[in-house]
Amino acid sequence: MNGDLCVFQYSFQPETLEKKKRESNPFFLYRNYMKENAPKNIKMTELSKMASDSWRNLSDVDKAKWKRLYEINRDLPPNTKDIVDEKNSTADKKDLDETTEGDQDPPVAIKVENMD
């Protein structure tokens, strides 16, 4: 070499910085719950419309339940694999139960075709 200084910069993303994609609001948690319990052949546009209508009709108490689930998931470390729900959560389980109307699952709207 002729005395020139060469600087190399390496850029990489270690696997430890990988972030978990989280739900962006309580409604999306609710919609995903409906998606898991809906018929497999339903179109996503229909499902989203039903979820939206159902969400508007939910009581404030039921919406608070979904908001609490969202807050629990939002505060989890990024490498957590599963979304916490009221059935497998140990964190704040007592608080979650106190904000719901009983132990019922949220209503699921399913489109029923004419059976005649």
Average pLDDT, the chain: 71
pLDDT tens for 17-49 read 555 566 689 999 999 999 999 998 999 999 999
> In which band, very low, low, confident or very high, does the pLDDT at 75 lie, cut at 50, 70 and 90?
confident
- pLDDT at 23 (0 to 100): 60
Could you tell me the residue ranges of all domains in the chain?
26-98
Residue 92 pLDDT level (bands cut at 50, 70, 90) = very low
Whether the Cβ atoms of residue 54 and residue 34 lie closer than 8 Å to each other: yes
Torsion of Cα atoms, 86 then 30 then 35 then 112, to 10°: 110
| 31 in Cβ contact with 66 (< 8 Å) | no
Helices 44-57, 26-37: inter-axial angle, 10-degree rounding: 120
